[in-house]
Amino acid sequence: MSAILTALELRKRLGDRVLFDGVSLTVHERDRIGLIGRNGAGKSTLLRMFVHGAPAQARSAVAGDLQDPDALEDALEPDSGQLSWRRELRLTYVPQEPRIAEALTVREVLLGGGPPEHEVLAVADGLRVARLDARIGELSLGERRRVALARAISSGADVLALDEPTNHLDARTIEWLESRLLTLSAALIVVTHDRYFLDRVATRIAELDRGKLYGYEGDYSEFLLRQAERMSVEQEHEAQRAAFVRREIEWIRRSPSARRTKAKARIDRFDAAVAAAPGAAAAPPRQAELRLPTGPRLGSTIVELEAVTRELGGKTLFRDLTLVMKPGDRIGIVGDNGAGKTTLVRTILGESRPDAGVVTIGANTKFGYLEQGRSELVDDRTVTEEVAEGYDFVELPEGKVHVRGFLRMLAFAEGAGEVKIGQLSGGERNRVQLAKLLRRGGNVLILDEPTNDLDLVTLGALEEALLDFPGCAFIVSHDRWFLDRVATAILAFEGDGQVVLYEGSYTFYQERREQRERAQRAAAPAAEVKARRGDRRAAAPAVGPRKLTFKERRELAGMEEAISVAEARVAELEVWASDPQRFKTPGEELRAKLAELDAQRAEVEALYARWQELEQLAAAEPT
């Protein structure tokens, strides 16, 4: 495939810091590149540099402009190096915070600029974009991002540049987004820390590390193995990164897919690479040391809900919810945006009263709450000042540790505590907020979307800290990999006020959910099918009286069988498409299968319409 974008030896200095030093990347048609790296490594800046370097006619204003473009103008120009684009190439960029004219309605944004109406509205439905007549100024940041994503995906661009596209999306919508992106012919460059997203969507990983860009063919799992091989031959050993890779590989080894022959061979290659590393056996890498403050010892009663019901705006969010938290529970809370997850958290905290039922909090229970809408940071303060809040030490299970030591546990670099908040990247600011709130401690943590914008190393440290945490936790998250690692049970909002607890991992919950949905699709009640057919007959247009021809009588006689065969094929293809592993299928084969599914659905509709027409003719035949 031909190259559509080439970056050659890009170099960029910001103040005294060299951000990039000889970064090169070639993007080909249909590439799906995951751009990863630590917070502050320059991922978003590099993505913006690609966008800024595109020819003016290539850029799409569909998804909003860069924030403060005048201030960013200098930062987007490389100090040296070259960017070249294929002629007539079309690019669409979705930043973390899209800027869209606030006076426009959602409908005007989605339909303005040329995409076919049916296509963009179908994408908007898949992304659960609501309130088409609402003005952009009335929407939350999450809602604006959905609008921008919907418009971008349906824009017909040759390249999609997406910065953290899964933030503010629930898990079901992320699964839909993954499936949709896999069907597009556009090349994709995406900055994300969503590991399941990378594992399912990416065909290449580009890691920005200490000013260099390292390329790896394959998905996230393959990246971990290739990265381990690279690290094994480097003379400079980076302890936290190596420990993180080891933990991830151990997790893959324990998963059911690791028992497959191909996965086992990959793991064997990793083991060989680690064994060959100079001094690996004598000096194993030091793991991240993050320890969460625990608060007092838990009592026999922790958190108990008995038949709790909560309604809001005439909608039942949860009904008759009964839950008893046990020692060691780490309960992941999942569900659609707006389902009531945050309201449940506020009900547990006592900030919102239930309409019915009882919430009992143990006498020794001390909550540590990380809210989703996090407090604003003061730009003129240093990181240490902001996290310490007047206290020099943090109380950990093994004793007191200075705030600076606590920051190192959260993978902040040496000296980072003296940096002003205003000089930090978005991901680094989020890490400061996490450190600030975790410092206060608690024996029951309530974490509302804790993983947003955290880099992979910090995510790994937080995962390990939660696994070692002696208390309990409620974790509201869309990060499926994170939940698989830390959750002991999943509390799922399933609609219509139903909230169900599934003991076990997120993957176990997902398998149970998909099995149920496949069974429902494959075994639709006969009464429902008859009702559909009856509705179609009633809606059939009147046809002038005439006698059926011999050919039409034969066609009518075989119509029910033809419909049954077509519907069975649709059900078969839907079952095929619902299996996440299918999206490892090569792009052309996948698109062919999904196109066949669309064609079969259209065939069913056409058969029903023809059946109605023939039955109307038969009923109106002159005697």
What does the pLDDT look like over 513-545, one tens digit per residue? 887 777 666 655 444 555 555 555 555 554 456
Q: Is 523 helix (H, G, I), strand (E, B) or coil?
A: coil
pLDDT of residue 486: 94
Mean pLDDT of the chain: 80
What does the pLDDT look like over 105-121, one tens digit per residue? 998 888 875 666 877 88
pLDDT at 237 over 70: no
Task: Look at residues 449, 437, 240, 429 and name the one whose alpha carbon lies nearest to residue 335.
Answer: 449
Lowest mean pLDDT among 234-243, 299-308, 315-324: 234-243
**Encoded amino acid at 77, one letter:** E
pLDDT of residue 243: 72
Lowest mean pLDDT among 247-256, 319-328, 558-567: 247-256
In this prediction, residue 305 has a pLDDT band, given cuts at 50, 70 and 90, of: very high
Percentage of the chain exceeding pLDDT 90: 29
Q: Which residues pair with 36 in a beta bridge?
A: 207
Q: Which residues contact 531 (CB under 8 A, 6 or more apart)?
A: none
Q: Which of 158-162, 236-240, 464-468, 593-597 has the highest mean pLDDT?
A: 158-162
Q: Whole-angstrom Cα distance, residue 551 to residue 77?
A: 71
Q: Are 348 and 446 in contact (CB under 8 A)?
A: yes
First to last CA, the chain: 66
pLDDT at 303 over 70: yes
Between the alpha carbon of residue 498 and those of residues 339, 476, 492, the distances in Å are 10, 17, 8
Q: Which residues contact 551 (CB under 8 A, 6 or more apart)?
A: none
Using DSSP bridges, classify how beta strands 91-94 and 159-163 pair: parallel, antiparallel or unpaired.
parallel
pLDDT of residue 330: 96
Spell out the alpha helix ranges (H) of 333-439: 341-349, 383-388, 403-409, 426-438
> Is the pTM above the cut of 0.75?
no
Lowest mean pLDDT among 3-17, 276-290, 337-351: 276-290
pLDDT at 289 over 70: no
Q: Which residue has the higher pLDDT, 51 or 11?
A: 11
Phi, psi (deg, nearest 5) at residue 334: -130, 160
Q: Which residue has the higher pLDDT, 359 or 423?
A: 359
Q: Which residues contact 484 (CB under 8 A, 6 or more apart)?
A: 505, 506, 507
The sign of the CA dihedral 290, 296, 301, 307 is negative
What does the pLDDT look like over 573-612, one tens digit per residue? 777 765 655 555 555 676 677 778 777 877 887 888 788 7
Token pair for residue 600? 């079969």
In this prediction, residue 7 has a pLDDT band, given cuts at 50, 70 and 90, of: very high
pLDDT at 143 over 50: yes
pLDDT at 216 over 70: yes
Q: Which residue has the higher pLDDT, 36 or 533?
A: 36
What does the pLDDT look like over 41-97, one tens digit per residue? 889 889 888 887 776 656 554 444 433 343 334 447 888 999 888 888 888 899 888
pLDDT at 135 over 80: yes
In this prediction, residue 363 has a pLDDT band, given cuts at 50, 70 and 90, of: very high
Q: Is 38 helix (H, G, I), strand (E, B) or coil?
A: coil
Q: Which residue has the higher pLDDT, 437 or 481?
A: 481
In this prediction, residue 405 has a pLDDT band, given cuts at 50, 70 and 90, of: confident
Residue 580 gets which letter from DSSP?
G
pLDDT of residue 290: 67
Lowest mean pLDDT among 9-23, 247-261, 368-382: 247-261
pLDDT of residue 68: 36
Lowest mean pLDDT among 50-59, 233-242, 275-284, 606-615: 275-284
Residue 21 gets which letter from DSSP?
E
pLDDT at 476 over 90: yes
pLDDT of residue 284: 37
What does the pLDDT look like over 176-185, one tens digit per residue? 999 899 888 8
Using DSSP bridges, classify how beta strands 17-28 and 3-14 pair: parallel, antiparallel or unpaired.
antiparallel
